[in-house]
């Protein structure tokens, strides 16, 4: 009986771990999409600033 309970608990833990991995992966994918959109917006804004100011299109750090 104890072995069966332990096996059941391990199976449940594995199932939950898999569900958590899927959930976290989905959230990270959403975050990645959001960040990529933000980077595109920043890039467009910087390009507009350079174009409006009549400066060359180069990166300066």
Q: Give per-residue pLDDT as tens, 4-57.
A: 999 999 999 999 999 999 999 999 999 999 999 999 999 999 999 999 876 565
- Tell whether the model's pLDDT for residue 59 goes beyond 70: no
Whole-angstrom Cα distance, residue 60 to residue 48? 15
* Contact status, residue 19 vs residue 13, Cβ threshold 8 Å: no
Element at 5 (helix H, strand E): helix 2-53
pLDDT at 24: 99
Query: pTM (2 decimals)?
Result: 0.68
Residue 47's Cβ-count burial label (10 Å; 0-12, 13-18, 19+) is exposed
């Amino acid at each position: 009986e104890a072995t069966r309970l332990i096996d059941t608990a391990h199976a449940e833990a594995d199932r939950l771990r898999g569900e958590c991995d899927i959930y976290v992966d989905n959230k990270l994918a959403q975050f990645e999409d959001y960040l990529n959109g933000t980077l595109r917006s920043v890039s467009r804004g910087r390009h507009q600033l350079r174009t409006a100011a009549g400066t060359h299109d180069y990166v300066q750090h």
